[in-house]
Amino acid sequence: MHVARFKPNTLGRDIAVGDIHGCFTKLKKSLERIRFNPSKDRLFSVGDLVDRGPESHQVLDWLDLPWFHAICGNHEQLTWRRAIGQAIQEVDHRVHGGLWLDDCTPDEQSLIAQRLQALPLAMEIETPLGLVGMVHADFPYEDWQHIHTQAFDANDRYVCMWSRDRYVTGYDGLVSGVRALVHGHQTTHKMRQLGNVFFIDTGGWLDHGHFTLLDLKRLVAL
C-alpha cells in the first residue's frame, strides 16, 4: 500500500507521535498523561517503531491494536530488508540499534518482515479543518498530490524515508494540497514547524527526550 487514507474521527481525537524506537512502555505513560482513550482516540505513528530501544520485539503487538496506525520509516526498511536476507549495505542495521532482530527466531523474523514491509509509505488523515499528510522523513515536492501520480518513483520514496533536506536547510515553503504535513526522523529537542510541515521526533526514545503527541485537529502538542 502506497498511501493509507483515514476518514475523520467522529468519536475522539487523532494524535500523531514521533519516532518510538522500541520504547513502548514510555509511550504508554505519555498516552496516560493525556488521557488517551483507545475506544475513541486514534494514534498515528510517523514510523521508526523499532531499533535502539529495549522493546522492539513488541512491535507486532502494537501493529495489531485497532487504534494504532503507522507508516514505514527507514528503520522499518532496515529491519525487514535484513530479515529477508537483503540487508541495505550502506547502513549497518546492527550498529543502528538492530541487534534485537538477531534474538528473534527465523519464523518471528519472517513475520516481522512481512508486517513491516506491508506498512504504507504515507498516510492521509481527514480532519474537520482539512487533510493532514504524513511521511517519515521529508517530502520532495511542493504539492502533496504528486504522491498519487505515476511519476512518484523509487527516488521519491527514498526521500520520504531518509532525507533531512527541509529540516537542515530550514526551508519553510508550504506544501499545497494538505493543511499540514507531519514528519519524524530528525530528532529535535522540541517540535519544529517549517511552513505547514511539522517535525515531531523529540527523542522520546532517549533518556533526556520526550514523546511529542500532536493533536491533528488543532495542530498543537498535547
Active-site amino acid positions: 75
C-alpha cell at 90: 550502506
C-alpha cell at 111: 513475520
φ, ψ (nearest 5 deg) of residue 5? -115, 135
Asked whether the CA dihedral 207, 165, 76, 66 is positive or negative, the reply is: positive
| Residue whose grid cell is 515531531 | 200
Spatial neighbors of 160 by CB under 8 A, at least 6 apart, are: 121, 122, 135, 136, 137, 138, 139, 140
Q: Where are the alpha helices (DSSP H) in 84-184?
A: 106-117, 154-162, 165-169
